[in-house]
Structure 1
Amino acid sequence: AEQVSPPPPIGAGHAETPKWTYDITSAVKTKFMGNWVDIYPLGRTRIVLKRTNEAFNIITPTTRINNIIVGRTWMDSFGELKVCNLTTGASAVIKFKECGLLGGGRWEVSGEILNAAGEPRMSLRGKWNEKVEVTRPAGGGTETLWTKLPMPTDDNPYGFTEFTRACNLMSTAPPGLLASDSRLRPDRVALEEGANAEAGAAKHALEEMQRAERRRRDAAGTTWTPRWFVKSSNAELHDLEKDIGTDVWEIKPEYRESLTRRLAEKNGAGAGAASVDDETPPAATVAAGFGIAPAAAAAAAA
């Protein structure tokens, strides 16, 4: 992932496994309302399943940050989350309920999964911070689709879930990380460990490096350009993606070439000897970072 535009910021990201690809161009529109600010998502999120070649588009709900001037700051998400199968026409529309007075309705979600003809096939209901249940029509019964894992019981000052912790762990990181990967940032590591003064100093040092780099560019008369992403001049857009409010940014082919080269150098095998898919961590390794039993990991990988 990379910030591809200065303020107003636009982010772009790409992820890939042997089973799917994920591409996102992320921007926002904000509306200041006094003691709160509403954040409206812009951009495009595209997921492609390699086995079936199905493409999915995701549109996320609005986020509100409350009490930004007075009171305890807290966030709420409300509106519709839409997931559209651009290949078959099926879709899911999940409604996030806005928090009411005294916290009524907070975290509640409900919605339906529709076929290409717009006919309901399943209904969903629950709380996005607890669990979500799915009900099938015509007496098909109700089953739990997703349940939140227990929160860590040890020291956890930032309220991280086990999933968030695993995203930060180097033990679950794939080989060949870019030097700019956030898992390698000393300020982030120090902050997570509670060393606030050290984190502040490291962050200041990084910012000074950025300012020095900008001064060098200004002196040389050069313009900054993203390293790994390029603005698409002819992005493939589905009809549902035409009004996304921003340009689409795509990963450069040079990224895969760079990753393959760095993996080969890390393995000492010479250029071109490793591929992205070859270096995908085994299920057992990933599972260990999430605290999942090896048997469950093997079943998930099958």
Structure 2
Amino acid sequence: MSTPTSCTRRPSVRDSCEQLAYVAAFTVSSYSTTTNRSAKPFNPLLGETYECDRTEDLGWRSFTEQVQFTTPLVAMHTEAKDWTSWQEFTMSSKFRGKYLQIIPLGIAHLVFPASGNHYTWRKVTTTVHNIIVGRLWVDNHGEMEIVNHKNGDKCHMKYMPYSYFSRETPRKVTGVVTDKDGKERWVIQGTWDEKIEGAPVIKTAESTRGKVLYDTGPSTVMWHRDYPPPELEKCYCFTQFAVTLNEPEEGVAPTDSRLRPDQRLMEEGAWDEANDVKVKLEEKQRQKRREKEQEALLAAEEGREYVSYEPKWFRKETDPQTGNLVHIYTGEYWQCKDTCKWDRCPDIFL
């Protein structure tokens, strides 16, 4: 989901390649706040959920659930009038002494029902530098390929890694959109913390060094970042939108993050109490995990199948685009909210 940390134009695109260029700009926008967001977040609890209903003002609503604990995994589903998006997020990490590499796993989907265009992509690597000594700073780097499964359009993007010795613009992102025949149709460039521009390709040529040169039409700013006011530095550098996400709201599920007691206490400035409750919550989850492990051992000894945990709002299905087993939204959350029917929600808080 794009957030008000940035501004993405909503044009009437002429074809799927132009739409793919805008989708590429959308994927970049999710990294715009990572330059100054290096603090460690809360560890979500198994079964913890979060809803964000902005149908009235922004035209979309989103729902997430923590569906796995041993390897933490969150599933998300977002729906609007003209599009639907869903994804799983988990990650692996590598500690290299001075820095920590975070490698996101899982695939994001974006579908436009009117045209049938179905896009997928994977996130790039994030590296947190100066883990031991110095000021933490974040870099996003790697390659990303966005694919339109309807017609074979692709966008290959490169996030340039920062180098003290490089003359490249810091945080630079470049990309080329090609159609099903491999013909270059659009080029995009910019930075992941500032803005992305796109331009249609008129013709291509090859330089003497074998590099492809693009003759393009006028460029368009497809996304640019809206900076928060300076006073939000006191709020962990959250954007104005992010600051509102933890405001209490009536009618949410009992597992919603806004009802999590340690997070609420910290929001109210009760730091010592928040830490005490956090320890109790984590111990409660560890105890449940130990009980599940004992049940699994007993089931194995008795030769019967054992299911350790079943998500409440998602179910595992085979993704027809990738062939992977993924968590798909059941479509039941908002109906249960309308009737205040929360009997399926686990008891995860104190």
TM-score, reference length from structure 2: 0.63
Percentage of pairs with the same residue: 31
- One-letter amino acid of the structure 2 residue matched with residue 20 of structure 1: W
Classify 1:164/1:237 alpha carbon distance in 2 versus 1 (closer, same or farther; 3 Å): same
* Helix, strand or coil at the partner of 2:231: coil
Gaps of 5+ in 2: 1-63, 203-215, 299-305, 342-350
Question: 1:126 aligned to 2:181?
Answer: no
In the TM superposition, 1:67-78 aligns within 5 A as 67-78=130-141
Query: C-alpha displacement at 1:12, in angstroms?
Result: 2.0
8 Å CA contact 1:23–1:47 kept in 2: the answer is yes
Q: What is residue 313 of structure 2 aligned with on the other side?
A: 228
Classify 1:29/1:257 alpha carbon distance in 2 versus 1 (closer, same or farther; 3 Å): closer
8 Å CA contact 1:62–1:77 kept in 2: the answer is yes
Classify 1:39/1:132 alpha carbon distance in 2 versus 1 (closer, same or farther; 3 Å): same
In the TM superposition, 1:206-225 aligns within 5 A as 206-214=281-289, 223-225=308-310
In structure 2, how many angstroms separate the alpha carbons of the residues matched to 1:202 and 1:20? 40
Query: C-alpha displacement at 1:219, in angstroms?
Result: 7.5
* Helix, strand or coil at the partner of 1:101: coil
* Helix, strand or coil at the partner of 1:204: helix
In the TM superposition, 1:22-171 aligns within 5 A as 22-101=85-164, 105-138=169-202, 139-157=216-234, 158-169=236-247
Alignment: residue pair count = 253
Q: What is residue 237 of structure 1 aligned with on the other side?
A: 320
In structure 2, how many angstroms separate the alpha carbons of the residues matched to 1:183 and 1:85? 36
Structure 1 residues 226-284: Cα deviation after superposition (integer angstroms, max 9, x where no partner): 3223332xx1332xx35x7xx42222x3xx33531321349xxxxxxxxxxxxxxxxxx
Which of these residues, 14, 17, 20, is aligned with residue 77 of structure 2?
14
Query: C-alpha displacement at 1:111, in angstroms?
Result: 1.2
Of 6-15 and 127-136, the range deviating more from structure 2? 6-15
Classify 1:169/1:218 alpha carbon distance in 2 versus 1 (closer, same or farther; 3 Å): same
* Helix, strand or coil at the partner of 2:107: strand
Q: What is residue 262 of structure 2 aligned with on the other side?
A: 187
Query: C-alpha displacement at 1:86, in angstroms?
Result: 0.9
Q: What is residue 296 of structure 1 aligned with on the other side?
A: none
Classify 1:77/1:155 alpha carbon distance in 2 versus 1 (closer, same or farther; 3 Å): closer
Q: What is residue 288 of structure 1 aligned with on the other side?
A: none
* Helix, strand or coil at the partner of 2:243: helix
8 Å CA contact 2:186–2:198 kept in 1: the answer is yes
Gaps of 5+ in 1: 267-302
Of 193-202 and 213-222, the range deviating more from structure 2? 213-222
Classify 1:195/1:117 alpha carbon distance in 2 versus 1 (closer, same or farther; 3 Å): farther
Between the two structures, name the one with larger relative contact order (CA 8 Å, sep ≥ 6).
2
More helix as a share of residues: 1
TM-score, reference length from structure 1: 0.72
